[in-house]
Amino acid sequence: MFRRRRETVEEGPGYAEAVEQLTASRRTIVEAFEIERARIERDLHDGAQQFIVASSMKVGEALLMLDAARASGDSPALAAVESLLVEAQRDTSGALRTLRETVRGVHSRTLTERGLEAAVRELGERFSGSSDPVDVRVPFPLPPLPDGVVSSAWFFASEALTNAAKHAPGAHVSILVVADTALHVSVVDDGPGGALLTGGHGLVGIRERLRTFGGDLTLSSPVGGPTSVVARIPLLLRHGESGVTPLQPGKDNR
């Protein structure tokens, strides 16, 4: 009896090319997110922030001029103007602090300069309580990753920590970052549990962003805890690139 050989999809002549095209298209999506993020950060820094800085400096100069004019002018009127300028300077300084916090939230300078592991450890320090620090573990060196993949992981970790601080204050929180065929970032807290993915912002928004290039976000939060939020992010490696980084002798990756 003649038995026809069954050809799998992987054996098709265009399979490798199709995989390469899919990887390239997903990298394009990720890079588009990163380009837009960088644009927003640049516009905030070079636009609004510069105007606020200039305004604060002018108010400060006006206050100095008032001191010089006080001796020969209308003291009550000058005092009123001075009071308004002091309030304006205070408001401007507050706006500048808020804007700088916004820029900081758009991206981490540590992420750009030192990589994902250092940036996640910085997040852990920021969210650590005085008696219960966030436990960050990166047991193996992370491979080189596209900027968009790294940013997605950082945004996820930041949002998950924000949620833990809001809904499980005082709970012990741990973060684990590992890579195999994908980058896995998990944030676990021993709070009361019962968390749900709702609304269109926060973790739900991050989940939808991850899904656009083949990733996903899962939540496990039974009543009584613990709550575990895990992001799986494709490495988006090109053909021939490796997701494995050799261990560095003598390095403690805990």
State pLDDT tens for residues 11-28. 555 656 655 655 555 556
DSSP annotation of 44: I
Residues 80 and 156 in one domain: no
Give pLDDT tens digits for 221-247: 999 999 999 999 988 655 555 545 555
The pLDDT value given to residue 9: 47
pLDDT at 29 over 60: no
Residues 124 and 226 in one domain: yes
Residues 82 and 117 in one domain: no
Q: Which of 71-75, 111-115, 191-195 reaches the highest mean pLDDT?
A: 191-195
Instruction: Give yes or no for a contact between 221 and 163, defined as CB atoms under 8 angstroms apart.
Output: no
Residues 89 and 159 in one domain: no
In which domain, by residue range, is 197 found? 109-234
Question: In which band, very low, low, confident or very high, does the pLDDT at 7 lie, cut at 50, 70 and 90?
Answer: very low
Instruction: Give yes or no for a contact between 230 and 185, defined as CB atoms under 8 angstroms apart.
Output: yes
Residue 61 CB neighbour total at 10 angstroms: 11
| Domain-located, residue 241 | no
Residues 53 and 141 in one domain: no
% the chain with pLDDT above 70: 63
| Domain-located, residue 229 | yes
Give pLDDT tens digits for 92-137: 777 777 666 655 555 677 888 899 999 999 999 988 876 688 999 9
| Domain-located, residue 216 | yes
| Domain-located, residue 218 | yes
Among 106, 121, 156, residue at a domain's last position: 106
The CA dihedral of 118, 121, 125, 131, to the nearest 10 degrees, is -150
Among 106, 121, 143, residue at a domain's last position: 106
Question: In which band, very low, low, confident or very high, does the pLDDT at 1 lie, cut at 50, 70 and 90?
Answer: very low
Instruction: Give yes or no for a contact between 143 and 180, defined as CB atoms under 8 angstroms apart.
Output: no
Residues 90 and 75 in one domain: yes
Indicate which CATH number applies to the domain containing 134.
3.30.565.10
Number of domains in the chain: 2
Residues 100 and 156 in one domain: no
pLDDT at 190 over 90: yes
Residues 34 and 129 in one domain: no
Residues 157 and 183 in one domain: yes
User: For 130, how many CA atoms within 13 A lie in the half-sphere containing its CB?
Assistant: 0
Q: Which of 34-38, 155-159, 185-189, 233-237 reaches the highest mean pLDDT?
A: 185-189
pTM to 2 decimal places: 0.61
Query: Closest Cα partner for 60 from 34, 96, 35, 111?
Result: 96
